[in-house]
Structure 1
Amino acid sequence: MVSDVRRKKLLFAFKKFFDADESGAVEKKDFEKSLDRIVRLQGWKESDVVFNVAKDIMNQIWEGFQSSADSDNDGKVSTEEWIKMWDLQDKETLPEWNNLFCKVCFHLQDKSGDGKVDEEEFVKVHEVFGGPKEDAVEAFKKLSQGQSSLSWEEFQKLFKDFFLSDDADAPGNYIFGTINFLKE
């Protein structure tokens, strides 16, 4: 059974990152809309090679997401199916599609390409996706625990904690720029 803390985190991720059209269910068109946001954030054109790579990766994430969670095979993932998938998920490893999502999140934030996410990079991405700057600044402080940046390895661990940990105080709970959803 998914704990209350984990349920809140999972529903936040579902609504904030996957249900792009806020319909209450995730479909392939939501991933296409998310790709559009990423393209705008990065300043890519459809003719850019990186655009096609990103499109392919988003399709891979969608296919894994759907095959893992769409239990009634209707082409949509409801919040109930989403929570059920995580309830059945091994708490030691993330599904492969989620590892791809982690890589996308890291690379979006590592704007300089130095293999680390610093506070400025972290805050900028979360502002672009509609989060308050103050929340993102505070979240980065909690995530980094006094460090000036997060390495790929650190980011992966924090990302995993967000999805798999039941601990309301886990630093990974801040990976998406806020924890206000845990207070609701």
Structure 2
Amino acid sequence: MPATLEGVPSDLQTRKISFVFRAMDGDGDGVLRRSDFDLLADRWAAVRGGAHEERMRETLRAWWEALYATSDQDGDGGVTASELMSAVDGDGTMIDLVVATAVAMFEAVDSDGDGRVSEAEYAQLVRAWTGGTSVHAFARLDLDGDGYLSKQEFARHWLEFWAGDDEDAPGTYVFGEV
């Protein structure tokens, strides 16, 4: 896994970022706006039945603000896929943002507050973000096979997803098959 998010994005990185961009683009117009993150929060609330809804809304608002601040190159108030790819491909400043978002996301996903994420909790995250399933993803992510993801495992995989370039890395499958 690279230490920064620098260099020309590989085909794998492009596929991963394009995949998650489409998942975040709630209205499908090809531009991310705060309203898309509100729609994502609504999907989260529908999947979780409102449990921890405000925490997830706050997490998604913070994720939007950070993406917007680092990615909106033309100042038009939105983020295109190419702007997001450029930010990920940029000067490495997104690493801290990615890790901070992973920690916040972990805390929102950990519905029972036990400091670990079960397969059922993780399935809710994937369903809310992509509408897909995590049938094979969780087994790849649970490195120690204990049936849970720790905050450290979760953050590592989140960073692998955004910055990694290894098809076989567990983090490549954070949102399921790409």
TM-score by length of 2: 0.83
Structure 1 runs of 4+ aligned residues shifted over 6 Å read none
Displacement of 1:52 = 5.0
Query: SS at the partner of 2:149?
Result: strand
Asked if 2 retains the 8 angstrom alpha-carbon contact of 1:57 and 1:100, the reply is no
- Judged with a 3 Å threshold, the aligned counterparts in structure 2 of structure 1 residues 103 and 60 are, in CA distance, closer, same or farther, namely same
Query: SS at the partner of 1:131?
Result: coil
Q: Which residue of structure 2 aligns with residue 103 of structure 1?
A: 103
Deviation string for 1:158-182 (max 9, x for gaps)? Answer: 1111111111110111211x12x2x
Displacement of 1:32 = 1.5
Q: Which residue of structure 2 aligns with residue 174 of structure 1?
A: 173
Amino acid at match of 1:143: L
Q: Which residue of structure 2 aligns with residue 32 of structure 1?
A: 38
Displacement of 1:25 = 1.0
RMSD after superposition: 2.3
Deviation string for 1:24-51 (max 9, x for gaps)? Answer: 1101111111122223334339xxxx65
Displacement of 1:137 = 2.0
Higher RCO (CA-CA < 8 Å; seq separation 6+)? 2
Amino acid at match of 1:33: L
* Counterpart Cα distance in 2 of 1:44 and 1:120: 16
Q: Which residue of structure 2 aligns with residue 61 of structure 1?
A: 63
Amino acid at match of 1:20: G
* Counterpart Cα distance in 2 of 1:56 and 1:163: 21
Tell which structure's C-alpha radius of gyration is larger. 1
TM-score by length of 1: 0.80
Query: SS at the partner of 1:94?
Result: helix
Asked if 2 retains the 8 angstrom alpha-carbon contact of 1:119 and 1:140, the reply is yes
Deviation string for 1:98-135 (max 9, x for gaps)? Answer: 33432343234322211111222222433355213xxx
Return 5+ residue gaps in structure 2 as ranges.
1-7
* Counterpart Cα distance in 2 of 1:51 and 1:116: 18
Identity %: 30
Return 5+ residue gaps in structure 1 as ranges.
none
Matches within 5 A, 1:26-175: 26-44=32-50, 54-90=56-92, 94-96=95-97, 98-129=98-129, 130-132=131-133, 136-145=134-143, 146-175=145-174
